[in-house]
């Protein structure tokens, strides 16, 4: 039963990743169809992120009441419905409306599942589970590229993914009996007697502000790369839109491969060492992207950035119970997820304005500035939570 539940969680992580790169892959085609500026991708991204922030902040309360299994199944179902809405939409503003349930569905499942895995599984499992997210995130652009290359349009790409999500939803609902007796703090029913912490109480915990800013910066880098890599390649490197979508997927391939290897490396290095390693590889990838040269240079840089991103997210989450205690982990992971989505909401959108009004060529430098702040916040976190 334990191994079957773990397999179900792997499927859930795939479902989390599938839609994440669709917008960035399809946007070079979508914005011309909608006749809107290229920066309007930021509006949709902001709406999705706002929904995830709201649901992440409520994750401690919701998961304690309903349990991880139900929260996961319902959240994936809501996401599937939202993606189907994307697939039948031909108006930018209707797309914005469908982005609301998309964001709300993503936030709860992300925070709830990550806390469950942080509490019950070792660091290598966290890396491999997030590798499954990378499998989904990598498959998404390929599905979209197939839809665009075959002449079916971007709507078909969203439709294909919505069908996959619907199947995963069915599997998750069938798995609900496996979660019996397991809640946010280790069980899946009404929570323990510990009351949910308020945001004000969480922020006062030593190291909480630093880990929130660290997550903000990480998702700012990942979100900016995922949303704007295709547009950067198309606008600056003169790569055709269909080819750019496939190239952009290399970023997620880098994350996926990196997390597969990270699972083994975590058996030798601890979470802090893994995070520092990832930050160094991101820096190398940004430097490679700054080198003038053929399209293959940018491709190599994107892969390196993806490889560097690989260990950071899962290792920060997995270290949360060690930094703050198991009884506080769901609350802390909830605000970490919210901070991550604030980064996803603001920073890719800000780069959209920079690309629109200055130049998309600033893409690598923009990520470099965010990376420096992430490194500073992570070191402060380690200092404040050191036992």
Question: Can you give the pLDDT at residue 186?
Answer: 44
- What domains can you pick out in the chain, each with its CATH number? 2-385 (1.20.1250.20)
Residue 355, beta-bridge partner list: none
Average pLDDT over residues 185-190: 45
Question: Can you give the pLDDT at residue 110?
Answer: 76
Specify the higher pLDDT residue, 83 or 24. Answer: 83
Tell me the DSSP string of 136-148: HHHHHHHHHHHHH
Question: Can you give the pLDDT at residue 77?
Answer: 92
SS3 label, residue 151: coil
Tell me the DSSP string of 259-324: HHHHHHHTTTS-HHHHHHHHHHHHHHHHHHHTS---HHHHHHHHHHHHHHHHHHHHHHHHTHHHHH
pLDDT digits (tens, 9 = 90+) for 305-324: 989 998 998 899 888 888 88
Burial of 37 (0-12, 13-18, 19+ CB in 10 A): middle
Percent of the chain with pLDDT over 70: 95
Specify the higher pLDDT residue, 219 or 244. Answer: 219
Question: Can you give the pLDDT at residue 191?
Answer: 42
Confidence of residue 1 (pLDDT cuts 50, 70, 90): low
Confidence of residue 203 (pLDDT cuts 50, 70, 90): confident
User: Cα separation of 19 and 133, whole Å?
Assistant: 10
pLDDT digits (tens, 9 = 90+) for 23-73: 888 888 888 888 888 878 878 888 887 888 888 888 777 877 888 888 888
Average pLDDT over residues 277-281: 95
pLDDT digits (tens, 9 = 90+) for 329-358: 878 888 888 888 788 778 988 998 898 899
Question: Can you give the pLDDT at residue 192?
Answer: 45
CA-wise closest residue to 284 among 272, 296, 301, 299: 301
Question: Can you give the pLDDT at residue 366?
Answer: 94
SS3 label, residue 187: strand
Confidence of residue 273 (pLDDT cuts 50, 70, 90): very high
User: Cα separation of 373 and 375, whole Å?
Assistant: 5
| Tokens 């800000």 belong to residue | 350
Res 134 pLDDT > 90: no
Query: With contact defined as beta carbons under 8 Å apart, do 129 and 255 qualify?
Result: no
């Amino acid at each position: 039963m334990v191994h079957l539940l773990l397999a179900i969680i792997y499927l859930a992580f795939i479902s989390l990743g599938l839609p994440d790169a669709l917008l960035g892959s399809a946007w070079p085609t979508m914005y011309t169809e909608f006749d809107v500026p290229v920066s309007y991708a930021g509006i949709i991204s902001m709406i999705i992120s706002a929904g995830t922030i709201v649901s992440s902040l409520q994750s401690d309360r919701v998961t304690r009441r309903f349990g991880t299994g139900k929260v996961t199944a319902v959240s994936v179902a809501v996401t599937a419905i939202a993606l189907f809405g994307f697939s039948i939409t031909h108006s930018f503003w209707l797309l914005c409306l469908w982005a609301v349930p998309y964001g709300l569905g993503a936030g709860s499942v992300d925070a709830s599942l990550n806390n469950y895995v942080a509490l019950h599984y070792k660091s290598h499992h966290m890396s491999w589970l997030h590798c499954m997210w990378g499998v989904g995130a990598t498959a998404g652009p390929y599905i979209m590229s197939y839809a665009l290359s075959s002449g079916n349009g971007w709507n078909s790409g969203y439709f294909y993914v919505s069908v996959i999500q619907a199947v995963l939803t069915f599997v998750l609902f069938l798995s609900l009996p496996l979660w019996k007796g397991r809640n946010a703090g280790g069980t899946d029913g009404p929570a323990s007697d510990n009351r949910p912490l308020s945001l004000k109480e969480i922020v006062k915990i030593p190291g909480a502000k630093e880990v929130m800013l660290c997550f903000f910066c990480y998702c700012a880098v990942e979100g900016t790369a995922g949303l704007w890599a295709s547009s950067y390649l198309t606008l600056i490197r003169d790569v055709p839109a269909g080819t750019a979508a496939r190239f952009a997927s290399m970023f997620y391939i880098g994350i996926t491969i990196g997390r597969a290897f990270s699972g083994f490396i975590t058996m030798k290095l601890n979470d802090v060492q893994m995070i520092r390693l990832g930050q160094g590889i991101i820096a190398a990838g940004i430097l490679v992207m700054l080198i003038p040269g053929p399209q293959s240079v940018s491709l190599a840089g994107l892969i390196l950035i993806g490889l560097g991103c690989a260990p950071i997210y899962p290792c920060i989450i997995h270290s949360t119970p060690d930094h703050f205690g198991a009884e506080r982990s769901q609350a802390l992971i909830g605000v970490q997820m919210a901070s991550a989505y604030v980064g996803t909401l603001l920073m890719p959108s800000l780069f959209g304005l920079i690309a629109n009004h200055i130049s998309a060529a600033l893409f690598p430098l923009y990520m470099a500035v965010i990376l420096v702040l992430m490194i500073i916040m992570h070191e402060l976190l380690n200092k404040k939570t050191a036992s």
